[in-house]
Amino acid sequence: MTEVFQKLKKIVTEKYISDSIYVRHAYSRNVNPVLQGVPDIVIRPKDAQEISEILKIANEENIPIVPRGGGCCEWGGSIVENDTGIILDMKRMNNVINLDQDNLVVTVGAGIAWGALNNYLSQFGLYTGCLGPGSGLTASVGGGISHHSVGAGGCAKYGACTNQLVSLEVVLPTGDIIETGSQANKFSKVPFNRFGNGPDLAGLFCGDNGIYGVKTQVSLKVFPRPPFAAYKTFVLPRKDTEAASQIMMEIRRKGIDVFDTIFIPQLVVVLGAQEGMFPLWKQLKRKRGILFYSIEANSEIELNERVKQLDEIFLSKKTEELGPEISDGNFAKWQYENPWHLYHNLWGIQPACEPFTAECFTPLNTLPELVADTMAWENECKEDMQKIGELTGNRIVMSSAGPVALIDGNNVEYTVGFNTSHSYHEGTTHEIIDELNLKLWKSLLIRTYKQGVQYYMCGSVPSKLMVEIGAYSQEYNNLLKSIKKTLDPNFILSRGKFNLTGEME
């Protein structure tokens, strides 16, 4: 690997490459608690041309490469497999390249964080609509496009962040550089439209989880931020999941334009208040599920009419409205003013515990059944959960759902998972805990798969499970393989995801 290191160093200079054991281990994990892959080399290119040269060397030497944005993915998507390969750190490519205020399109380096981009746009009274993933203070725009990300805010109105995509600059695994959308026409002066000039090749790289190309520049539609906003929070009745599902379906049936509607289930409310995570709900007499909405409008008349329509729907389902201030329990106001902070309420809910999570899209009308099946899964897994508890003294906490965010159409983002102990406890490493946690995690993912959900952030674990349990038809799986082989004949990029290794192909 020394010879490869020297070749790569000539591309980026010594400052932007490392094979130090400390740096390599710093890039060996993302946010899940158990997966790890230590790379051979970490490199930070500055542009598409440098990435092209890096990929050409990787092909010559048959070394796998994994692109890494903010490293916020949950399922091993930005770490190497089998402790071998190169991490392509995209963080140097974090600048705003152009803001076209006439056409309302912004072009950025794919390594910029959603929070940083929206902070810049706010100076012009603009935003990206969907604010990206809940981890968008650090998660990159390129990563969001790779995952069809939602969660930070605005996804009920704008849907996944890929809905706002105009064009991409992509380095293919062979090192070729292409542009999509309007920029496929080399005479086009500015990005202005995703569709046309033939097939929508940008769609090939949306949700690809990094297997088909390295996104280097991203052009997104941006929107004027409306001057008026309202936000309200409601305590749900006893059957909170059913009530939340019915309310959100009614919002869609009536065609009411909401910025966000998010459901937080009773278990999370109770434990969150108990552990000090949600102090604003500590004094609630009835700690039940919470549902809130936020809306934006261009006039007070428009805003008030929409508030009236929404309140009628919420109150008809026997909800209880909380006061207008955050101190009254109005979580909606806090979330609207602090995007990228709600994300995943399993993190931090229990001291000394870590979450294993599953995030997917599902239709609104299937939500109650999905939650009920998840609770049944928990009952069936009690023996393994108890084994972990016996070793650490910590009880595994299951979140049957939360948060559940309304996205485009009649769909929601369903977040489910369990809080569990780390294998290192009081000076001893219990390897059996890692084994049990991984077993439970995969079991939960498979269980939800078989309910027909749609995983969008696939990483290395879910993408492989989809293939292994036969979720894809043979024809669909063959198409994935053939596209991969055409674009990446040596299976260099994100090797192993979706079981695309190049072996026995």
Using alpha carbons only, give the angle 43, 45, 46 rounded to the nearest 5 degrees: 155
Average confidence (pLDDT) over 119-133: 96
Peptide bond into 403 cis (omega under 30): yes
**Per the structure block, which two tokens stand in for 425?**
């406890």
Query: Residue 242 sits in which domain range?
Result: 228-337
Mean pLDDT value across residues 95-110: 98
Query: Where does the pLDDT of residue 188 fall: very low under 50, low under 70, confident under 90, or very high at 90 and above?
Result: very high
CB 440 within 8 A of CB 403: no
Helix (H) or strand (E) run with residue 349 in it: none
Say yes or no to pLDDT of 342 above 90. no
Does residue 359 sit in the same domain as residue 248? no
Q: Please tell me whether residues 380 and 476 are part of one structural domain.
A: no
* Domain annotation covers residue 462: no
- Note whether 101 and 213 are same-domain residues: yes
Same domain, 159 and 270: no
C-alpha 42/C-alpha 36 separation (Å) is: 15
Q: Which of 176, 226, 238, 230 is nearest to 201 (CA)?
A: 176
**CATH number of the domain residue 269 falls in:** 3.30.70.3450
| Average confidence (pLDDT) over 258-268 | 93
Listed residue (165, 55, 182) closest to 110, CA to CA: 165
pTM across the whole model: 0.95
Separation CA 25–CA 96 (nearest Å) = 30
Say if residue 445's pLDDT is above 70. yes
- Among 206, 136, 124, CA closest to 164: 206
**Span 18-29, average pLDDT:** 96
Same domain, 129 and 108: yes
Could you report the per-residue pLDDT of 141-166, keeping only the tens digit for each? 999 999 999 988 999 999 999 999 99
pLDDT at 134 over 90: no
From 125-134, 275-284, 392-401, 454-463, the region with the lowest mean pLDDT: 392-401
Q: What is the pLDDT of residue 346?
A: 59
Q: Residue 324: its pLDDT value, please?
A: 96
Model confidence band, residue 248 (pLDDT cutoffs 50, 70, 90): very high
d(C-alpha 74, C-alpha 276), whole Å = 25
Q: Which two tokens stand for residue 364?
A: 């609104």
**CA dist., res. 75 & res. 32, Å (int):** 6
Among candidate residues 209, 208, 185, the one with its CA nearest the CA of residue 195:
185
Q: What is the DSSP letter of 323?
A: P
Q: Which one-letter DSSP state was computed for residue 94?
A: -
**Average pLDDT, integer, range 265-281:** 84
Distance CA 26, CA 139 (A): 17
Question: H or E segment at 466?
Answer: helix 461-468
The amino acid present at 291, given as its one-letter code, is L
pLDDT value, residue 201: 96
Residues 127 and 183 in one domain: yes
| 126 in Cβ contact with 383 (< 8 Å) | no
Alpha carbon distance 1, 194 (integer Å): 41
Mean pLDDT of the chain: 93
More confident residue, 355 or 400: 355
Let me know whether 219 and 251 are in one domain.
no
322 plus 368 within the same structural domain:
no
Query: Domain check: are 426 and 375 in the same one?
Result: yes
Contact 438, 420 (CB under 8 A): no
Q: Is residue 42 part of a domain?
A: yes
Percent of the chain beyond pLDDT 70?
Answer: 97
Rounded to whole angstroms, the Cα distance separating 148 from 315 reads 33
- 210 belongs to a structural domain: yes
Q: Which of 216, 215, 331 is nearest to 269 (CA)?
A: 331
Distance CA 497, CA 75 (A): 11
pLDDT number for residue 277 = 77
pLDDT digit string (tens) for 361-408? 999 999 999 999 998 998 999 999 999 988 888 777 766 667 899 999
Which pLDDT band, with edges at 50, 70 and 90, does 239 fall under?
Answer: very high
* 374 and 476 housed in the same domain: no
The predicted model gives 492-503 an average pLDDT of 93
**pLDDT tens-digit series, residues 190-204:** 999 999 999 999 999
Q: Which percentage of the chain shows pLDDT scores above 90?
A: 78
**How does DSSP assign 275-320, residue by residue?**
TTS-GGGTT-SS---EEEEEEEESSHHHHHHHHHHHHHHHHHTT-E
Mind listing the pLDDT tens digit for each residue in 169-183? Answer: 999 999 999 999 999
Residue 343's pLDDT band, with cuts at 50, 70 and 90, is: low
Residues 6+ apart with CB under 8 A from 65: 54, 55, 58, 85, 86, 87, 88, 492, 493, 494
Q: Are residues 77 and 112 in the same domain?
A: no
Q: Does 348 map to a domain?
A: no
pLDDT digits (tens, 9 = 90+) for 287-311: 999 999 999 999 999 999 999 999 9
Residues 196 and 239 in one domain: no
pLDDT at 347 over 80: no
In a domain, 80, yes or no: yes
